[in-house]
C-alpha cells in the first residue's frame, strides 16, 4: 500500500510503516500537482500537516485514496466531513504535540515580559554603541511568578500550558464552553499533584488575567476582538499559538499602539503564509512562524502515532 507523506514524517514513523509492509514516499508535491501525483503513483494514504490542503476537488478526483492523516491537532486544512461522506478514513494526532505548543507559549511569555523580542532586534544594531541606553530601556521587566494566566480553551494543549504555569508559580483562570469543571494532574519529581480546576466565565478570565493565551479550534470570527480587548487589564499581554484568526490582529495592533496592551505574541496568523506586514514589523510583538508543534520530540511522537493508527486501520 502506497503512502505519500507530503509534509514529511519522522524517520521513526516511516520505519514503523515500512516494517509493516507500507511504501512511504516523502517527496513534497506542489498543491497544484498533487491530484496527478496521487493518481499516477496509486497513492492510497495521504499524510499532511498544515501546509497541504485536502479539499473536495482532491477527494473527488483521487479515487484510490482510503485514508487522510493530519500530523497535528487542527483539521481546518482538510474537508473532514466531506471525506468521511465519501468513505475515507480521517485521522489526526491530538496528543502528540501538546507539550511542544505549551512550551512555545512560555517561550513567548518569558521573552515578552523581559522584552527579549525587542532586545534581540536592537542589540546587534546598537549594542556596541548604546549599551547603557539599551540596558535602561530593558530594565523594567516583570516576573511571571504570582501573575495570573488566563487560558481560553482547556483541551490537551490548554492543560499542558496550565501545568507549566502552575510549575512556575502562576495563578490560572480557565474558560472552556465545553466544561463545567475538571481535574488536572501535575507531575513533579515523580510525584503527582492533583488540582481541581474551576471553569470561569469568559468575562472573568478577560478582566482578571495578566496574560491571555488561546487554545481553541479554528473559528469563523475572532474570539477576541476590540470589545474583548477593552475588557482586559491595562498592560496585559496576549499570546496566540492556536489558529490564525482567533484574535483580531488589527484590534491587537490598535491596542498595542495606545498602550492598553503591553505586548502580543503570535505563532499563527490570519493570512499564512503571508502574515500582515504591520504585525511582522510591530516593535511590541513577539513572532514565530507557526512552529509550536515543530520540535524533534513532537515530530517523533506524531510520526509514531500516525503510523500506529494507519497500521491498525488498514492492516487489520
Q: Measured in Å, how far apart are the chain's first and last C-alpha atoms?
A: 13
Among the options 108, 243, 282, 301, which is catalytic? 243
Q: d(Cα 238, Cα 256) in Å, to the nearest integer? A: 10
163 included as an active-site residue: no
Give one word for 298, left, alpha or beta, with left for phi > 0 and alpha for psi -120 to 50.
alpha
Among the options 70, 175, 215, 290, which is catalytic? 290
260 included as an active-site residue: no
**What's CA 261's distance to the chain center, in Å?**
22
State phi, psi for 17 to the nearest 5 degrees.
Answer: -65, -45
Closest CA to 285 of 271, 270, 267: 267
243 included as an active-site residue: yes
Q: d(Cα 237, Cα 210) in Å, to the nearest integer? A: 7
Residue appearing with cell numbers 470589545: 227
- Strand-strand pairing, 67-70 and 148-152: unpaired
Among the options 53, 103, 254, 272, which is catalytic? 272
Q: Any bridge partners for residue 239, and if so which?
A: 213, 265
Say whether 268 sits in a helix, a strand or coil. coil
Residues acting as catalytic residues? 243, 272, 290
Amino acid at each position: 500500500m502506497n503512502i505519500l507523506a507530503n509534509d514529511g514524517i519522522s524517520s521513526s514513523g516511516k520505519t514503523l510503516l515500512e516494517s509493516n509492509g507500507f511504501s512511504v514516499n516523502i517527496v513534497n508535491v506542489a498543491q497544484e500537482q498533487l491530484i496527478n501525483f496521487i493518481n499516477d503513483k496509486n497513492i492510497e494514504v495521504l499524510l499532511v500537516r498544515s501546509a497541504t490542503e485536502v479539499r473536495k476537488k482532491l477527494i473527488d478526483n483521487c479515487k484510490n485514496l482510503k485514508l487522510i492523516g493530519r500530523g497535528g491537532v487542527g483539521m481546518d486544512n482538510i474537508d473532514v466531513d466531506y471525506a468521511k461522506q465519501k468513505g475515507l478514513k480521517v485521522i489526526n494526532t491530538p496528543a502528540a504535540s501538546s507539550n511542544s505548543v505549551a512550551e512555545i507559549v512560555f517561550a513567548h511569555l518569558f521573552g515578552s515580559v523581559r522584552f527579549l523580542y525587542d532586545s534581540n532586534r536592537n542589540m546587534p544594531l546598537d549594542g556596541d554603541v548604546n549599551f547603557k541606553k539599551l540596558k535602561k530601556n530593558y530594565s523594567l521587566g516583570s516576573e511571571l511568578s504570582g501573575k495570573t494566566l488566563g487560558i481560553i480553551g482547556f483541551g490537551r494543549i490548554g492543560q499542558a500550558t496550565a501545568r507549566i504555569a502552575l510549575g512556575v508559580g502562576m495563578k490560572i483562570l480557565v474558560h472552556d464552553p465545553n466544561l463545567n469543571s475538571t481535574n488536572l494532574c501535575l507531575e513533579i519529581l515523580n510525584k503527582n499533584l492533583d488540582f481541581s480546576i474551576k471553569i470561569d466565565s469568559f468575562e472573568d478570565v478577560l478582566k482578571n488575567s495578566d496574560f491571555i493565551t488561546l487554545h481553541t479550534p479554528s473559528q469563523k470570527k475572532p474570539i477576541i476582538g476590540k470589545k474583548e480587548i477593552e475588557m482586559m487589564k491595562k498592560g496585559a499581554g496576549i499570546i496566540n499559538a492556536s489558529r490564525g484568526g482567533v484574535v483580531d490582529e488589527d484590534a491587537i495592533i490598535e491596542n498595542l499602539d495606545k498602550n492598553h496592551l503591553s505586548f502580543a505574541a503570535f505563532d499563527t496568523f490570519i493570512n499564512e503564509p503571508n502574515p500582515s506586514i504591520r504585525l511582522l514589523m510591530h516593535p511590541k510583538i513577539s513572532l514565530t512562524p507557526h512552529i509550536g508543534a515543530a520540535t524533534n520530540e513532537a515530530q517523533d511522537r506524531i510520526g509514531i502515532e500516525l503510523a500506529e493508527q494507519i497500521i491498525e486501520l488498514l492492516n487489520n
